[in-house]
């Protein structure tokens, strides 16, 4: 079932025409209303009228997160306050928060994108969606909420926190779907065990998880423990919030359809800024084609992925992005080798007797980077000897060395010693 079938299945040629028209309109709006962009256009020496085809986008300036910070709070708003109906702010994972504003139409488009996402993973009006993303300035909670209502499902606005109570209400209210970060889904599972609530006996059937990177192995872990189908959803507050891209029932391996009528995607080389071909891995750049409040041109997400053009069996014509590999600013350079935490996650989860909870601690000893990885032992796995424990640690170290080429020190720790959060998990502690 599609929420907006006519749009989601637009023939690609028509879609491109729509995108071009919207891009031209966007440039005109930015030039007229946002001095920051007017200056940028003038510097480069182009006017909105110079945009004749979609490929001309490559001549347009990028927008960086720093630009939002420099223009904090309202410098990039393209609409006067009387047209803005809501503010949100990014969670500030990588520094000072940034503020975004939405018009009525922006909120409605966002709700549609989220409703499309929910429908694409098989949710309908009959579903009860337990929303455990934080409500507030963070876009997760309210974004999912409006989408659930737009779809006609029942939105259960739990927000984060009170984990034990959440799990009881999830049972009492007979929630059929769960929306939160993948790490919080696992935390809920643990809270269930402690409250004698067995996920396998709940009506819960689908999870829509995002807001932080996660791996295919993590998906399997969650699906098995919670006895659900787990889907990946992507978004970011600067561009809208959750619902920019989402998996569908026919997608596998984390491929997510981008809502291409609203967002124009490009992949660039993060160092040179050059556009890359479809299929090549690089930094995702998004242009908001319809946004009114704070429209952004070529926003550098710092998220690493690639665009997949294979037609999807679901019939949607929107291209798909691959599971996010991580943020370019999360990439660790360990003695010259580039490593993403997700690559380590994949290996840890696959190892025997480990729980999917880990933390990567990077320090510098003299001139050398050292990486210590704390991994929890799975509850109920009994290790008799210290030697046995050490052997398991070494085995994981060896696999990491083999697959990623970096030397690490793996330390197995007691269950539940790594901090749980109801939002984005803190995976890396960089002490350098």
Q: Which residue is nearest to K ion (CB)?
A: 236
205 phi-psi bin (left φ>0, alpha ψ -120 to 50, beta other): alpha
Listed as own residue / partner, the contacts of 192-196 with beta carbons closer than 8 Å and 24 or more positions apart are: 192/167, 194/164, 195/164, 195/167, 195/168
The footprint of ligand ADP on residues 288-307 (CB under 6 A) is 301, 303
Supply 370's token pair: 């050292």
Give the strand order in the sheet containing 128-131: 154-157, 128-131, 177-180, 206-210, 229-236, 241-246, 256-258, 320-321, 307-308
Task: Tell the smallest beta-carbon distance from residue 394 to ligand ADP (Å).
Answer: 30
Candidate ranges 53-61, 171-179, 235-243, 286-294; the one touching ligand ADP (CB under 6 A):
235-243
Footprint on this chain of Zn ion (rule: CB under 5 A):
248, 250, 312, 314, 316
Task: Tell the smallest beta-carbon distance from residue 190 to K ion (Å).
Answer: 28
Phi, psi of 338, rounded to the nearest 5 degrees: -85, 125
Task: Tell the smallest beta-carbon distance from residue 93 to K ion (Å).
Answer: 7
Residue 86 to residue 5: CA distance in whole angstroms:
28
Candidate ranges 208-216, 275-283, 346-354, 386-394; the one touching ligand ADP (CB under 6 A):
208-216
Which position among 160, 210, 243, 356 is part of the footprint of ligand ADP (CB under 6 A)?
210
The neighbour count for residue 17, using CB atoms within 10 Å, is 13
What would the x/- binding string for ligand ADP be over residues 327 to 366, using CB under 6 A?
x---------------------------------------
Q: In the complex with ligand ADP, which residue's Cβ is closer, 180 or 347?
A: 180
Which position among 9, 33, 83, 93 is part of the footprint of ligand ADP (CB under 6 A)?
93
The DSSP code sequence of 210-255 is ESS---HHHHHHHHHHHTSEEEEEEEETTTTEEEEEE--TT--TT-
Residue 124 to residue 230: CA distance in whole angstroms:
16
233 binds K ion per the rule CB under 5 A: no
- Contacted by 327, from Zn ion, K ion, ligand ADP, none: CB < 5 to 8 Å by type: ligand ADP
Looking up tokens 């690639």 gives 306
Residue 391 to residue 396: CA distance in whole angstroms:
9
68 binds ligand ADP per the rule CB under 6 A: no
Element (DSSP H or E) covering residue 30: helix 12-33
Which position among 68, 170, 236, 312 is part of the footprint of K ion (CB under 5 A)?
236
Q: In the complex with ligand ADP, which residue's Cβ is closer, 194 or 329?
A: 329
Residue numbers at the binding site for K ion (CB under 5 A): 236
Residue numbers at the binding site for ligand ADP (CB under 6 A): 90-94, 139, 210-213, 232-237, 301, 303, 324, 327
């Amino acid at each position: 079932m599609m929420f907006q079938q006519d749009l989601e299945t637009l023939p690609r040629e028509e879609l491109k025409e729509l995108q071009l028209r919207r891009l031209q309109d966007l440039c005109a709006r930015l030039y007229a209303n946002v001095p920051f962009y007017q200056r940028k256009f003038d510097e480069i020496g182009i006017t909105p009228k110079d945009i004749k085809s979609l490929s001309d986008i490559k001549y347009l300036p990028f927008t960086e997160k720093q630009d939002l910070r420099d223009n904090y709070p309202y410098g990039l708003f393209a609409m006067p306050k009387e047209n803005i109906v809501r503010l949100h702010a990014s969670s500030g994972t990588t520094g000072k928060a940034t503020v975004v504003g939405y018009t009525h139409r922006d909120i409605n488009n966002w709700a549609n994108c989220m409703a499309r996402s929910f429908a694409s993973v098989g949710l309908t009006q009959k579903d009860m969606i337990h929303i455990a993303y934080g409500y507030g300035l963070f876009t997760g909670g309210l974004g999912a909420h409006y989408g659930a209502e737009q779809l006609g499902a029942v939105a259960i606005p739990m927000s984060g926190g009170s984990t034990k109570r959440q799990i009881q209400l999830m049972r009492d209210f007979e929630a059929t779907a769960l929306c939160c970060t993948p790490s919080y889904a696992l935390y809920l599972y643990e809270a269930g065990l402690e409250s004698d609530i067995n996920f396998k006996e709940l009506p819960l059937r689908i999870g829509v998880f995002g807001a932080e990177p996660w791996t295919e192995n993590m998906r399997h872990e969650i699906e098995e423990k919670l006895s659900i189908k787990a889907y990946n959803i992507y978004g970011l507050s600067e561009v809208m919030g959750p619902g920019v891209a989402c998996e569908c029932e026919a997608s596998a391996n984390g491929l997510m359809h981008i809502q291409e009528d609203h967002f124009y995607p490009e992949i660039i080389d993060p160092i040179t800024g050059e556009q890359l071909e479809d299929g090549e891995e690089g930094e995702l750049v998004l242009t908001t084609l319809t946004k009114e409040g704070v429209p952004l041109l070529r926003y550098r997400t710092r998220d690493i992925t690639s665009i997949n053009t294979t037609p999807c069996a679901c019939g949607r014509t929107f291209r798909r992005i691959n599971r996010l590999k991580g943020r370019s600013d999360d990439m660790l350079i360990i003695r010259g080798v580039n490593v993403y935490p997700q690559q380590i996650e994949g290996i840890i989860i696959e190892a025997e007797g480990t729980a999917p909870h880990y933390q990567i601690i990077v320090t510098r000893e003299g001139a050398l980077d050292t990486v210590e990885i704390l991994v929890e032992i799975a509850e109920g796995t009994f290790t008799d000897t210290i030697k046995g424990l050490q052997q398991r640690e070494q085995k994981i170290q060896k696999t990491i060395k083999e697959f990623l080429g970096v030397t690490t020190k793996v330390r197995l720790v007691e269950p539940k010693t790594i901090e749980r959060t109801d939002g984005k998990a803190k995976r890396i502690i960089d002490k350098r």
